Amino acid sequence: MFILGVVGPGQIMIIVLVIVLLFFGGKKIPELMKGLGKGVKEFKDASKGNDASSSTEVSKTEAEEK
């Protein structure tokens, strides 16, 4: 907690990025970010109910109600 008072949020982000770069290496980071982006997109789609399986299920239940 003491470090947070001395180092600003931007500097903490830079420190974390440097540690990630050292840990994973430059070649692996684009793969990690691509996977992270896909995961975030899937999460957003699922939370909105836009994925194919949920829309199919909704249309099936609507057809059954009629």
pTM: 0.46
pLDDT tens across 39-65, in order? 999 999 888 876 455 555 555 555 555
pLDDT of 63:
58
Say which residue, 31 or 2, is predicted with more confidence.
31
How many structural domains comprise the chain? Answer: 1
SS3 annotation, the chain: CHHHHHCCHHHHHHHHHHHHHHHHCCCCHHHHHHHHHHHHHHHHHHHHCCCHHHHHHHHHHHHHHC
Q: Is the pLDDT at 30 greater than 70, yes or no? A: yes
pLDDT of 20:
86
Domain span at 25: 2-65
pLDDT of 42:
93
Average of per-residue pLDDT values in the chain: 76
